[in-house]
Structure 1
Amino acid sequence: MSSFIPTSTAEPEPLSNLSIPAPFDTLWNQLLTHSTGGLVGLVAVRQGEEADAPITDFRYQFLNEVARRDTRDQQPDSKEPIIGAHLSDYFPSIRQTTLWKTYLDVLVTGQPRRVEQHYQIGKRDIQVTQSVSPFGSDGLLLSYTEPSDLQQLTRRLAHQTILLNGVLNSSPNAILVFDAIRDVNQAITDFQVTMTNRQVAQLAQQPDSQLLGQLLSVLYPLKPDQFDRLCELVRTGGSLVIDRYVQQYARWLSISLTTLNDGFVATVQDISEDRHMRRQLEQTVHSLHQSNQSLEQFAYIASHDLQEPLRKIVSFSDVLKTQFSDEMNDAAADLVRRMQLSAGRMRDLVSDLLNYARLSGTRTAFRAVNLNHILAQVMDDLEFSIHDQRAQIQIEPLPTVHGDAVLLHQLFQNLVANALKFQPDSPEAPAPTIQISSRLTSAESVPNSSQEVNTPPQSYVWITVTDNGIGFNEKYLGQIFTIFQRLHGRSHYTGTGMGLAICRKVVDIHGGCITANSAEGKGTTFHIYLPIA
């Protein structure tokens, strides 16, 4: 409650410019001096002389000690008298408030009004309750009270409660606040619901009024170890997240528990749809994995079983050629020759298909593999081809990686063999040149690809295999690593179209990536990224 305490013996500031006849002047002065609320008399200031001219301001006619103090707080350094001054001199923003609109309305209607306005008086930020009544000719009598500290606190708490409820109810998750119930020994015996948002009522399918005050043991009975864990959470603080299927709601719920005073806040998220989608995805992946396994097993069995009749075809064609060549004319001999060539291609195809199928089978444990040793073995295996083509091969020192030595040997043998095979078919063509180098790189430098790449480690080895062969148009880059894909006819370059598919499969198994840069007639560079050991 506002009060006035004189602090000076100087001539007091006049509180009124009204002439009050005796004996009412003494009563009037006592009213202005001792009233505990603010009293202010205002007269309208109009834009012209007409009675209905627009009001531009109000002028002070009188005010009591409480109002004088509040008004002085607006301009504490001013020495000018308040009586006769304009209202906007002390309250410049008055025209933008509800108070101003109320003043104008009272003057027009002649009916008293009561209004509340949040206002800044000096350094005080208060909620003013003001009564406005007509007074005299074109005047207003204002009486107002400032709320006590307790009233202001109550209003703030009410405002914060409304704000908190708004925030809680805007959350898509159900939120409950539990307080601990303790026995005479201060041991926790249960927890009680003290606050909820509307999502809780929707989840539990019962109104808030039935939820408030309910015990946790009734809402959701816990096992002794679960209850002890919850009590420990309240005692030590922190948070806990539990995903659980709740039978009574027939839903999967993710429950986040956070300590709050002598209790906890439970935030409940319905994850039933997420769990359903995850289960469907897992089933789809499992079905796809089984399908892939079946296909790989079929490819292995089919290619294995094809070998026996293929061997007979090759054997019988050899018998025809060696034992009955004298009895065959040229046409028959040509048919046998073609049959042998087709059988040879079929043998190579079955062999490559069998090798590809084996890659998806049982794998040995990865070990540290020195790539320098692998390339040395590849050079030995391809020694005759390298010598016959007078190929120049430059190999820079290579690092050690974590992998399967047999598979890595197959990877580099296929790449080098391809570089030797796909060379210009011209006597004037230069001898094959192959350069193999490597450097370390980060996971961020590994190009995106459609391959299945394991979670990338910190570092990769980036290996390049560059040749001066015939190259290819990069628009076919997506095809060259697919099984049975060939960019060139068999009449010029032999092969089954499985070599690069096997390379990609080996790199996939090692959690890496393979790609290439090329141009027709300008050679090819293969880029292999393998996790470093």
Structure 2
Amino acid sequence: MEGTLSAFLYCCPILVNGEVADFQYIWGNRKAHELVNLTPDQFRQTTMLQLFPYFRTTGLFTRYITAWLTGEPQRFEREHIIGDSVKWVDVSVVKQGEGLVITALDITDSRRLRQQSLQQAQLLHTIVDNSPAGLVLYEPVLDAAGAIIDFRYVVTNASNAHTTGRNVEDMIGHLLSELFPDIYAQGFFDQLVRVCLTGESQRVERRFLGDQIDVWVEGSLVKTDQYVLFTYQDITRLKQQQLELAEQAALLRETNQSLYRSNADLERFASVASHDMKEPLRKIKAFGDLLSNQYGGTLPPEALDLLKRMQTASSRLMQLIDSLLEFSRITNARDVFNPVALPNVLLQVLQNLDVSISEQQATITMGNLPTVLGSAFQLEQLFQNLLANAIKFRRPDVPPIIRIDSTRLRPDELPEPCTYLTSTVPQATGWWQIQVSDNGIGFHPQDADLIFQAFRKLHGRRQYEGAGLGLATVRQITQNHQGAITTESQPGQGATFFVYLPAFEPAPGQPRI
């Protein structure tokens, strides 16, 4: 016994008035002496409660008494405390003759490992049960021939229970066919079998649809030992959003196609209508000219006045048709954008307005103007309308003075009415602010938005000619170029128009735009 790993000892009861008051140690092997840290002589002179007084309060002393009185063996694990040393021992107590044979095995290390394993198992259980991912461990169920006919739930977690609408306790130990019979027809059972037989992992993205379940999941099937582990994320909401976006995209494509057809029809209609309307207008003007030239001298003044009004009305209608055609083309423009040097555009505009500039003795100066990405034709229309307006709405007997300049702005320097541009054109590295200022009649600040509306005129037709579409066309062109336009003015103090166009970093060797 001296070579054993267990401590063996023999003790006899100490009786007081016929009751067991303590146990006297009679003999012990070397392991027993080491366990209590005593010499053999010290050991034989010591009682149980002298060494372990806490046995009374813990109930252990009662178990020794029970073994001696009844002869019924006792087996338990207990903490063994000697001084500062704390160990765990596996104790067996057997009555032998007039005393007790006690066997004690030091299980401190195994108990520590068992405690660590238990803590790890508890930690793993906590992680699994609180994981946002669904988790199921399936065990294959075989028939007599060894073929897989079903799968049993071995482990699952709260996330899977939430997704499937069942309790964890209601799934563990149950068969897949019992809980979700609809899944068999959807191919998931076949995937489980394939992973189980081949050992090859598989990705899963599918919709589970049944009597009590309708979800989309994305995850994986992995074989582990004889089991199949299924981990997944519930992507039902994401799928619903994708389906809604797909439906919206399809609707948008259909709407765009319908709009494209409508625009094409409108362009054809405008072209045909303008031709059909212009032809009778030309005849009216031609016949009016004949009447005026051939019979003007014989007509009374009242008839001549009516004839003049008819000619003026036909000219105004001709101008309106041309303006409408121009506005229609700008609104539906699908021009290809290229780098456009604005100084070249302004030079062409000045040539177009040469007669008007000369007649009104207008002074037009240009500062540094950038190259922008856009349509040269549309930008020419934009500046021609702005300059023509500045010349037309001059102050009496005051020659027009017009200044065109530009400033590059950072996205965070855009004025308040235009800050939305940073989200509509996020790829822009900056913005060009192009100012067109004049010394004309100006207008009230409250009319700043009205002047950009089609056919909205602040002055009577007899004062200033025009169809009322010039600034509406300007605004449409800025919108076509993903920009904006604002204005500042006071009556009698001229007006300044601010055109904002996106700036982009150029490709190597290209001009800055």
Tell me how large the CA RMSD over aligned residues is.
Answer: 4.9
Is 1:463 aligned with 2:434? Answer: yes
Query: Aligned residue for 1:499?
Result: 470
Is 1:523 aligned with 2:478? Answer: no
Moved more, 462-471 or 436-445: 436-445
Q: Which of 129, 138, 141 pairs up with 1:165? A: 129
- Residue 121 of structure 2 aligns with an amino acid whose one-letter code is L
Is 1:267 aligned with 2:233? Answer: yes
8 Å contact kept, 2:335–2:375: yes
Query: Aligned residue for 1:381?
Result: 352
Moved more, 466-475 or 443-452: 443-452
- How many angstroms apart in 2 are the aligned matches of 1:356 and 1:167? 61
- How many angstroms apart in 2 are the aligned matches of 1:199 and 1:477? 59
8 Å contact kept, 1:39–1:67: no
Q: CA deviation at 1:210?
A: 4.7
Query: Aligned residue for 2:390?
Result: 419
- Residue 377 of structure 1 aligns with an amino acid whose one-letter code is Q
SS at match of 1:531: strand
Q: Which of 436, 452, 455 pairs up with 2:404? A: 436
Is 1:352 aligned with 2:316? Answer: no
Q: For 1:36-88, what per-residue CA distance to the aligned partner results, in whole angstroms no more than 9, with x for missing partners?
A: 989479xxxxxxxxxxxxxxxxxxxxxxx969889x99xxxxxxxxxxxxxxx
Q: CA deviation at 1:154?
A: 2.5
Q: For 1:451-493, what per-residue CA distance to the aligned partner results, in whole angstroms no more than 9, with x for missing partners?
A: 9955542233221111222222333333332322222221222
- Residue 277 of structure 2 aligns with an amino acid whose one-letter code is L
Query: Structure 2, unaligned stretches of length 5 or more?
Result: 1-15, 25-46, 60-77, 86-110, 141-150, 504-512
SS at match of 2:492: coil
- Residue 298 of structure 2 aligns with an amino acid whose one-letter code is E
- Residue 294 of structure 1 aligns with an amino acid whose one-letter code is S
- How many angstroms apart in 2 are the aligned matches of 1:403 and 1:505? 13
Query: Aligned residue for 1:407?
Result: 378
Q: For 1:198-243, what per-residue CA distance to the aligned partner results, in whole angstroms no more than 9, with x for missing partners?
A: 344259xxx85555999x998546999xx99xx9x969xxxx997x
- How many angstroms apart in 2 are the aligned matches of 1:164 and 1:247? 25
Query: Aligned residue for 1:30?
Result: 48
- How many angstroms apart in 2 are the aligned matches of 1:302 and 1:350? 9
- How many angstroms apart in 2 are the aligned matches of 1:317 and 1:253? 79
- How many angstroms apart in 2 are the aligned matches of 1:480 and 1:520? 14
Query: Structure 1, unaligned stretches of length 5 or more?
Result: 1-19, 42-64, 74-146, 169-173, 182-190
TM value normalised by structure 2: 0.61
TM value normalised by structure 1: 0.59
- How many angstroms apart in 2 are the aligned matches of 1:299 and 1:453? 31
- How many angstroms apart in 2 are the aligned matches of 1:245 and 1:477? 56
SS at match of 2:386: helix
Is 1:480 aligned with 2:451? Answer: yes
- How many angstroms apart in 2 are the aligned matches of 1:460 and 1:442? 6
- Residue 267 of structure 1 aligns with an amino acid whose one-letter code is Q
- Residue 334 of structure 1 aligns with an amino acid whose one-letter code is D
Q: For 1:108-128, what per-residue CA distance to the aligned partner results, in whole angstroms no more than 9, with x for missing partners?
A: xxxxxxxxxxxxxxxxxxxxx
- How many angstroms apart in 2 are the aligned matches of 1:180 and 1:365? 64
Query: Aligned residue for 2:164?
Result: 201
Q: CA deviation at 1:378?
A: 0.9
- Residue 125 of structure 2 aligns with an amino acid whose one-letter code is T
Total equivalences in the alignment: 389
Q: CA deviation at 1:175?
A: 3.5
SS at match of 1:351: helix
Does the C-alpha gap of structure 1 residues 24 and 370 become closer, same or farther in structure 2, counting only changes over 3 Å? same
Q: CA deviation at 1:248?
A: 8.6
Q: Percent identity?
A: 29
